[in-house]
Every structure is written in structure tokens, then in C-alpha cells.
Amino acid sequence: MRQCELLGVSRSSLYYEPIAPSAEELEICRLLDQQYLETPFYGSRRMTVWLQKQGFNVNRKRVQRLMRQLGLEALYPKPKLSQKHPDHEVYPYLLRGVSVTRADQVWSTDITYLPVLQGHYYLIAIMDWYSRKVLSWRVSNTLEVQFCVEALEAALLDYGKPEIFNSDQGSQFTAKAFTGCLKAAEVQISMDGRGRYLDNIFIERLWRSLKYELIYLMAFENGKHLYQEVKKWFDWYNEERAHQSLEYRAPNEVYRNSRLMLKEY
């Protein structure tokens, strides 16, 4: 008891052991994530009705909790579209009317949920807007800011820096550890405003491709297995996957060519 008092923690929190999610809850999370890709405009009410039609005895309160856990929010303009930390600084949106014409002009980032057999993980990716190249990524079993910072530092180390870095107003991206890294590199920080849910459309398309081409096709045993397969997919995506919007070229080719052209000028 005395040790708890000195550390400033309650005895109940010291003895608490987290309970693993049930098989039903993992299945509900997987279905929510999959349905969200099909109907991103579904809020908790519609998701509740949809799950009930699938045979799950759920109420809206439970669905709201799971959607918050997964980071899912209906895509339609409304107040407080992006939940931010009340003590974190929010930066203005800098991409209104900007034409992205070269590599490293704009980078962006986002986080998504990935299911495995016995739990779930979170994935962050940092993407070059012009080429759609995934510059770096990290997987974590929590939403702590550190894995986001590690992904950002890796991208800056391997590719230099962009002119503008865009994200939503999520607490991981407004944290001083994250914005401080961008400021130290002298990168302009841009954040999506309210109702601007299409600003990260390129990464949303990336998540859709990743999940339908890999995540929903395999049963991942654990985090190590998930990491190995995601790495293979991202390597293939960057080097070989043809994009219609890139005239059926792969992101690496477009990124390299753009940087070479900039060097020539």
C-alpha cells in the first residue's frame, strides 16, 4: 500500500490484469472494419442495425465504443469531425487549391486497424502524395504516439523531407513529440479541417487495397506473422503494383523519376 501511495497509483490499478477480447468481440471488430470500407458514411446507428441483421445482439452504446476503439467515424460533414486532444496545438490546412506536381512536395499519414486471430493491431503509413509511394510504416498493438514518431523519423531519414506534411487532427499527430519532429526538420505542418474528410483519400484508398488484397484473405496467427505479410505486401505495392492514376506505373518508378527530374533542374 505504501509503495502505491509513493508512486501515486491506486491499489486496484496495480492488481488489475487486462482481459483479452472475446472471440465474438474480435469478430464484430473485423466486420465493422470491413463494412466501413464499403459504407464509410455509416454511423453507429446504421452499424448497429447492420450488425443486428448479421445476427449479433449488440446495442448502439457497444458499437460506439468499438468504433472509437477502431478509429472509425462516419464520413460526413459535422461538428468535431476529427477528435483532437484538447491540450494539443492544431495547425491550419495548407493544401486548399494546391496542385501537387512532384515527389516530396506533400507527404501525408493515417492510422488503420488490422485484425489478427487473437487480437488486433494498428498500422501507420506515411505516403508521398504525388507518387503514392509508402515511404515508411509501423505496426503497434497500442495507439501510443511513439510508433507514429518512429515511422516519421524513418521516412525523414531515408527520403529527406517534404515541403508540407498533412494529417488529420488525431491526438497522435498533434502530440508535441510528432509535431516537434516535423518542426525540427523545418517541414510545414498541415492538418485537415472539419468536414474535409476527402483530404486523405489517397491513404484511404491504400487501406482499402491492403485490406482487400491481403488482410481479409489471410488468418494472421500473431503480430509477427502480420508484420511479415504486411511487409511483403508493401514491398510489392511500391515496386510492382500498377496504378491507373499513375498511367499503370508503380509508385517507386514514379517517385524515382520525379526526383531525378528535380535534380536535373
Question: CB 264: neighbour CB atoms within 10 A?
Answer: 6
Q: Which class is 106-264 in CATH?
A: alpha beta
What are the domain boundaries of the chain? 2-70, 106-264
Q: Which residues contact 171 (CB under 8 A, 6 or more apart)?
A: 83, 84, 85, 88, 145
Please report, in tens digits, the pLDDT of each residue of the chain (265 residues total): 555 454 444 555 444 455 667 888 888 988 988 888 888 778 889 899 999 999 999 999 999 998 888 877 776 543 333 345 556 788 999 998 899 999 999 999 999 989 887 778 999 999 999 999 999 999 999 989 999 999 999 999 999 999 999 998 888 999 999 999 999 999 999 998 654 555 678 888 899 899 989 998 888 888 899 999 999 999 999 999 999 889 999 999 999 999 998 877 6
> From residue 242, how far is each of 107, 110, 151, 194 by CA, in Å?
20, 22, 25, 33
Q: Would you state the pLDDT for residue 131? A: 97
Give the Å distances, CA to CA, from 152 to 108, 118, 138, 180, 206.
10, 28, 9, 11, 18
**Residues 143 and 170: beta-carbon distance below 8 Å:** no
